[in-house]
Amino acid sequence: RLTVLASVLLVANSFSGSVLFGSPQFVDKLKRTTKVLLEEFGSRPEEEAMLTVSEQVTQEIHQSLKNMGLAPLSSDNTASLIGQLQNIAKKENCVRSVI
């Protein structure tokens, strides 16, 4: 679970940048949200959990960018973020293997 959590944070950081990840409150909220979702889906396949995690993380990033008066992610970046987050469920995922 720790590897998945760290992978989610790394991927999310790569899309949202230092502005959001410079905020300890944002990082803490993302950690808590991801942990809760992973625990809720503990008995289900990781792919299912990561689908929900990817949707929630994307929503958190969009909302935080909006709250800060920053431009939202483009639709291409949003789709890429969701795809990369969902791929973390695969054991051979390159981000996951680095961590």
Higher-scoring residue by pLDDT: 55, 17: 55
Q: How many domains does the chain have?
A: 1
Q: Is the predicted pLDDT of residue 1 greater than 80, yes or no?
A: no
Query: Domain range spanning residue 37?
Result: 2-98
| Average pLDDT score over the chain | 90
Supply the pLDDT for residue 37. Answer: 86
**Ramachandran assignment for 93, one of left (phi > 0), alpha (psi -120 to 50 degrees), beta (any other):** beta
Supply the pLDDT for residue 48. Answer: 82
Confidence label for 45 from pLDDT (cuts 50, 70 and 90)? confident
Confidence label for 10 from pLDDT (cuts 50, 70 and 90)? very high
| CA 40 to chain CA mean position, Å | 16
Percentage of residues of the chain with pLDDT beyond 90: 56
| Contact of 46 with 4, CB cutoff 8 Å | yes
